Amino acid sequence: MSRRSAPVVLLLACVLALTSCTVPRPRDDRPASTVPIDRAGVEQVLSRYDQVREAAAKLLDPKPLSTVESGAVLAIDTGSFDVAQRLSRGVGSDGTSDQVERLAVPRFTGYPLWFVVEVRDQAAKVNRVQVFERGSAVDPWFLVASPETVLSTRLPDLRERDGAALTVDPRSATGMSMSPQQAADRYAAALEDPSAAAARTIENDDFRAQMRTAARRNASLDGVRFGQTWKAEKVTHALRTADGGALVFATLERVDSYRVRDGIQVTWPDDSPQKALLESGVSSSGRLRYLHQVLVEIPGGSGRPRVIGQYGGVVEAEGP
């Protein structure tokens, strides 16, 4: 082939290549799946969430939140709005200054669909690791988990395939010391009884220390029989980390119960949620129910799980 004809052949090859790009072709025969949202869509979801949250915060009315939140987050926020109303103080708008730090969207073959977005709240000096879920095709995206980490906490790198984050079956312990559901259950068991066998399989992190300190303080009240129970809810959101571990979103239910001797009354500080819910305190028996959303990192291999973020609050009170 002469040198003169080489450019012509090259041109023809380019034309053919470009033409073939636009020619319809059969799709691969993989089962139907979807990566349900892209970054632009996430921005829209966050924007809508911020608008609704802003409107609810202005009125101190948690009802609009039900259009953008669901599950434990809605319960926790409703409780905090309730407390704010009773204490006549505002709640954080939770959004307008947020900046998306990271986005993880898994691939799904069926509903529910969900994605994880890490947003930085400069005002509160925290990172929120939020899970938005769409339960069915007719539902909007609901915020279902929102554990917070301090700004210095760096989330583990996540494993991806074909641009989609990989999820972990909550009951699978492959590559880890325990499954996500086991980690949540053992964490709850360790919080309830630090001497339990499960406690030795869990990292003794700051959250455990704080909860134990609060429980010891309540238990040390004279004339008060204090009890605390912890229980993990069913884990539904877990992402595979690059080291073969998992990043688990778990919700722990905590119930504090008080039995007070006659003539004694338990009260809380004026600006505390407990005071807002149990205005006159507990004089005979009382019960406070909390929800804590925790972000658990299970390292790959034989490492012990630890909590790296949490978001929670009192959601229910019974007294006096």
Interface ranges with other proteins (CB under 8 A): 1-2, 5, 8-9, 12, 15-16, 19, 22-27, 29-34, 36, 108-111, 113, 136-138, 140
CA 140 to mean position of chain CA atoms: 18
Neighbours of 160 (CB within 10 A): 16
Phi, psi values for residue 238, rounded to 5° = -150, 135
Do 247 and 158 touch, CB atoms closer than 8 A?
yes
At closest approach, how far in Å is the CB of 149 from other proteins? 30
At closest approach, how far in Å is the CB of 22 from other proteins? 6
At closest approach, how far in Å is the CB of 164 from other proteins? 12
Nearer Cβ to other proteins, position 24 or 269? 24
Nearest to 305 by CA among 295, 314, 292, 315: 295
Do 289 and 316 touch, CB atoms closer than 8 A?
yes
At closest approach, how far in Å is the CB of 118 from other proteins? 23
Nearer Cβ to other proteins, position 109 or 220? 109
Nearer Cβ to other proteins, position 103 or 124? 103
Nearer Cβ to other proteins, position 110 or 269? 110
Nearer Cβ to other proteins, position 90 or 140? 140
Q: In angstroms, rounded to a whole number, what is the distance separating the alpha carbons of residues 170 and 184?
A: 10
Q: What is the DSSP string of 230-241?
A: EEEPPP-EEEEB
At closest approach, how far in Å is the CB of 255 from other proteins? 36
At closest approach, how far in Å is the CB of 187 from other proteins? 33
Rounded CA Rg of the chain: 25
Q: In angstroms, rounded to a whole number, what is the distance separating the alpha carbons of residues 139 and 132?
A: 12
Nearer Cβ to other proteins, position 6 or 209? 6
